[in-house]
C-alpha cells in the first residue's frame, strides 16, 4: 500500500461511500470487498480501475480525474490493474493500493454487492502469455481460494438472498494448480452443498473445457452456459496471438459442449483487426462463428497495448476495416442469437430476477434475458415460460409454480 497523502478520517459531511467499479467481474468482486473493508471510513470514494485494453486504461484515468474534481474533500482510494501499469496517473489519490496489497486487505472480507447474482472470486492470476494481453503481467501470481473459504462464502451469499453464484477469476481454469486441486474437483465439492445456489461459470479458456468437466457440470446445478475467449478462428492469427490451440481444437470443444447439453448457450470473445488478419483470415473466423452454434459473441477491435509482445507488430489494419469487421460479426451473431431464442419459446426456465423497474427482468441459466409481467423481487428465482421473442427482446410469463427446474 502506497501512502500518497497522510491518512486522516475527515469530518463527515455527506456520509458518502461511493464505488466506481470498472472492468471484469473479478474486478467488480474485489471492488465490493474493498468497499466493505473500508466501511468505517466516511466520505470515501474507491476508483477500481481496469487496463485490459488501452481504452479501458484511459477510461479509468478519466473516471479517477472526475472523482477527484467531484469529491475534492473525500478520501479517494485508487486501485486495480491500471494503477499497476501506470501508478503516476493516480498520484492524486489519498491511497494507491496495488493488486497484491489489495488482495491482502480483502483476504478475509465478504462483500455485500448490489447485484442479484453473486460474483465469487475463486482464484487470481494468469500464466498464459498471450501476445496482446497484459493481464499476466498485472495479475501474475496464480493463487486459488481454499475450498473451505469458498464454501463459507456460498453460505454468506445465500444468507444475503442470492440464488445464483458466478465463479470468477483471472483464469478460472487454473483453479487448484497451486494447491493440487482443480476446477473439476471444486465443482464436485460444491455439488455436495445442501441448498447450494445455482452455479454459473464465468469466462473459461477452451483448453480447460474437457469431457470430465462437462460430465461434472451435468451432474450438479451448473448453468448451461459457456463463455469462451476464442479471440480468433484462424490458425495463423491464433499462433501470432500465442493462443494454445488451433481452429480444429475449437471446433471439437464447441461440438463437445453442444452434444452434451440441450439448449446450451455458447458465447465467445473475438478480436478483429489483429496484426496479420487480412480479409481471408477474418473470413475464417466469420465462417467458424457462422457454422458453429454460438449464441452470443463480444467483439473487440484490436488496439496496440504497450508492454505486450504484440505491440511491436504495430497496428496495420485500418480503423475503418476493423469497424466494418466488427459490424459484420455483430450482425451475424445478432441473427444467431435471435434464432436461438426463438427455439426457447414455450419452454420453462428458472430465472434469476436482476432488475425490478417498471417491469421485471431476469436471466435464464442459458443466458437469456427475459422480460416478465407481474410482481417479482430482486434476487428472487422464479419459474417462467418464454412466450414470445423479437430480434431485440424475450418475453416470459411467470407460472407461479417456482419449482426447481433449469
Return the top range by mean pLDDT from 217-221, 327-331, 358-362. Answer: 327-331
DSSP annotation string for 117-176: SEEEEEEE------TT--HHHHS---EEPPHHHHHHHHHHHHHTT--EEEEEESSGGGTT
Confidence at residue 100, expressed as pLDDT on a 0 to 100 scale: 86
What structural domains does the chain harbor?
2-104 (3.40.50), 109-342 (3.80.30.20), 348-398 (2.40.50)
pLDDT digits (tens, 9 = 90+) for 380-404: 999 999 999 999 999 999 988 765 5
pLDDT digits (tens, 9 = 90+) for 242-293: 999 999 999 999 999 999 999 999 999 999 999 999 999 999 999 999 999 9
Strands 225-231, 164-169: pairing kind: unpaired
Query: Percent of the chain having pLDDT more than 70?
Result: 94
pLDDT digits (tens, 9 = 90+) for 132-161: 999 988 888 899 999 999 999 999 999 999
pLDDT bracket for residue 374 (50, 70, 90): confident
Q: Report yes or no: 226 and 264 within 8 Å, Cβ to Cβ.
A: yes
pLDDT bracket for residue 357 (50, 70, 90): low
pLDDT of 119 over the 50 cut: yes
Residue 103 neighbours by CB under 8 Å, 6+ apart: 30, 124, 143
pLDDT of 201 over the 50 cut: yes
pLDDT of 1 over the 60 cut: no
Q: Report, as an integer, the average pLDDT of 87-114.
A: 91
Joined together, the cell numbers standing for residue 381 give 428465482
DSSP annotation string for 330-343: HHHHHHHHHHHHHT
pLDDT digits (tens, 9 = 90+) for 290-307: 999 999 999 999 999 888
Residues paired with residue 167 on neighbouring β-strands, in sequence order: 120, 201
155-164, 203-212, 255-264, 357-366: the lowest-pLDDT one: 357-366
Q: Report yes or no: 59 and 80 within 8 Å, Cβ to Cβ.
A: no
The Cα 364–Cα 367 span in angstroms is 5
Confidence at residue 404, expressed as pLDDT on a 0 to 100 scale: 54
Query: Percent of the chain having pLDDT more than 90?
Result: 81
3-class secondary structure, 371? strand
Q: What mean pLDDT is reported for the chain?
A: 92
The Cα 155–Cα 263 span in angstroms is 30
The Cα 101–Cα 34 span in angstroms is 11
pLDDT bracket for residue 15 (50, 70, 90): low
DSSP-derived letter for residue 311 is G
Return the top range by mean pLDDT from 6-10, 33-37, 40-44. Answer: 33-37
pLDDT digits (tens, 9 = 90+) for 315-352: 999 999 999 999 999 999 999 999 999 999 999 999 99
Amino acid at each position: 500500500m502506497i501512502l500518497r497523502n497522510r491518512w486522516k478520517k475527515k469530518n463527515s459531511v455527506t456520509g458518502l461511500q461511493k464505488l466506481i467499479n470498472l472492468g471484469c467481474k473479478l474486478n467488480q468482486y474485489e471492488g465490493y470487498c474493498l468497499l466493505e473493508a473500508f466501511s468505517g471510513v466516511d466520505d470515501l470514494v474507491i476508483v477500481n480501475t481496469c487496463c485490459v485494453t488501452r481504452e479501458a486504461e484511459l477510461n479509468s484515468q478519466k473516471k479517477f480525474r472526475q472523482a477527484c474534481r467531484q469529491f475534492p474533500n473525500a478520501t479517494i482510494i485508487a486501485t486495480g490493474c491500471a494503477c499497476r501499469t501506470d501508478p503516476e496517473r493516480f498520484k492524486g489519490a489519498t491511497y494507491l493500493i496495488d493488486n497484491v496489497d489489495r488482495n491482502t486487505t480483502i483476504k478475509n472480507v465478504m462483500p455485500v454487492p448490489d447485484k442479484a447474482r453473486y460474483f465469487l472470486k475463486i482464484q487470481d492470476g494468469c500464466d498464459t502469455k498471450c501476445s496482446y494481453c497484459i493481464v499476466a503481467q498485472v495479475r501474475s501470481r496464480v493463487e486459488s481460494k481454499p475450498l473451505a473459504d469458498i464454501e463459507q462464502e456460498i453460505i454468506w451469499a445465500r444468507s444475503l438472498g442470492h440464488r445464483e453464484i458466478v465463479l470468477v477469476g483471472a483464469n478460472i481454469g487454473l483453479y487448484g494448480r497451486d494447491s493440487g486441486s482443480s476446477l473439476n474437483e471444486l465443482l464436485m465439492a460444491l455439488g455436495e452443498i445442501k441448498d447450494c445456489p445455482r452455479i454459473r461459470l464465468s469466462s473459461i479458456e477452451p483448453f480447460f473445457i474437457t469431457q470430465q468437466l462437462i460430465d461434472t457440470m451435468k451432474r450438479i446445478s451448473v448453468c448451461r452456459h459457456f463463455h469462451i475467449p476464442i479471440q480468433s478462428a484462424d490458425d495463423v492469427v491464433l499462433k501470432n496471438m500465442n493462443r494454445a490451440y488451433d481452429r480444429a481444437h475449437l471446433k471439437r470443444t464447441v461440438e463437445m459442449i453442444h452434444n452434451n447439453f440441450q439448449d446450451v448457450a455458447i458465447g465467445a470473445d473475438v478480436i478483429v483487426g489483429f496484426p496479420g488478419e487480412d480479409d481471408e483470415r477474418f473470413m475464417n473466423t466469420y465462417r467458424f462463428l457462422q457454422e458453429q452454434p454460438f449464441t452470443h459473441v463480444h467483439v473487440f477491435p484490436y488496439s496496440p497495448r504497450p508492454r505486450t509482445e504484440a505491440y511491436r507488430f504495430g497496428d496495420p489494419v485500418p480503423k475503418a476495416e476493423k469497424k466494418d469487421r466488427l459490424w459484420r460479426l455483430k450482425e451475424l451473431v445478432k441473427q444467431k442469437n435471435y434464432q436461438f431464442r426463438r427455439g426457447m419459446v414455450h419452454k420453462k426456465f428458472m430465472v434469476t430476477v436482476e432488475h425490478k423497474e417498471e417491469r421485471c427482468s431476469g436471466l435464464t441459466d442459458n443466458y437469456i434475458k427475459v422480460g416478465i409481467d407481474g410482481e417479482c423481487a430482486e434476487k428472487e428465482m422464479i419459474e417462467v415460460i418464454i412466450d414470445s421473442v423479437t430480434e431485440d427482446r424475450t418475453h416470459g410469463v411467470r407460472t407461479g409454480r417456482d419449482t426447481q427446474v433449469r
